[in-house]
Amino acid sequence: MGEFSKDIIAREPAKDKPAETGQILEKFLVFRIGDYNFAIRLMRLKELIFIKRLIRIPQKWPILMGLYNFRGQIIPIMNLAVKFGIKHSREKLHDKRLLIVNINEQQLGLLVDRGHQIMKMGSEKISPLPVFISHHIKYNYIKGFCIREPYQPLILIIDLEHLWSSEELDYIGQTVKEYQELKGK
């Protein structure tokens, strides 16, 4: 599936209820960072866009790449490759995608290599992480994983509510506030 806009997302309800099974299927956006596939609930996504220009800010937290003017609103841009400890590609910034999401009443931009597709899935398709993986991953923001087809790469399901601590969200919010005060907004 190619790139899509807010209009396409708006036409897609976040949940479907097939008449034949009665099971509720949720929609997920599958995206890629490096060699890994991840997914978030589609209902959390506001928009998927190409990033044009980033406002770089001096700070000490490498996950916070900078700020982005999204239709007149300044939003922080978070580098998920750094957050997840993934060696990221050397692609130019304008070749990457930005997921605009709402997390705990705060709008954030999540930098990813590309957005793949929208996938429907029931909760029974999400499996807990196997011991050999969960032993190495000690993060509560990974809800589980799914595999679309046998011998296909697994997709890690990300729970955005647990992706950032309250301290991190406070820091992000304070950074945006200080930037707006400097700009006289």
User: What confidence tens digit (pLDDT) does each residue in 110-138 have?
Assistant: 999 988 789 888 777 777 776 666 555 55
Tokens encoding 31: 């995206």
In a domain, 46, yes or no: yes
d(CA 66, CA 140): 25
In a domain, 93, yes or no: yes
pTM across the whole model: 0.79
* Secondary element (H or E) of residue 73: strand 73-79
In this predicted structure, the answer to whether residue 9 has a pLDDT above a threshold of 50 is: no
**Domain harbouring 82, CATH code:** 2.40.50.180
Residue ranges making up the domain that contains 19: 6-183
In this predicted structure, the answer to whether residue 58 has a pLDDT above a threshold of 60 is: yes
In a domain, 59, yes or no: yes
Please report which confidence band the pLDDT of residue 145 belongs to, taking 50, 70 and 90 as the band edges.
Answer: confident
In a domain, 1, yes or no: no
Please report which confidence band the pLDDT of residue 75 belongs to, taking 50, 70 and 90 as the band edges.
Answer: very high
Total domain count, the chain: 1
Residue 30, strand partner residues: 39, 117
Please report which confidence band the pLDDT of residue 93 belongs to, taking 50, 70 and 90 as the band edges.
Answer: confident
In a domain, 43, yes or no: yes
* Cα distances (Å, whole numbers) of residue 125 to 32, 40, 132, 158, 179: 20, 14, 19, 14, 43
In a domain, 119, yes or no: yes
Range with the lowest mean pLDDT among 43-52, 59-68, 114-123, 131-140? 131-140
Please report which confidence band the pLDDT of residue 95 belongs to, taking 50, 70 and 90 as the band edges.
Answer: confident
What's the whole-number mean pLDDT along residues 145-157? 80
CA 179 to chain CA mean position, Å:
23
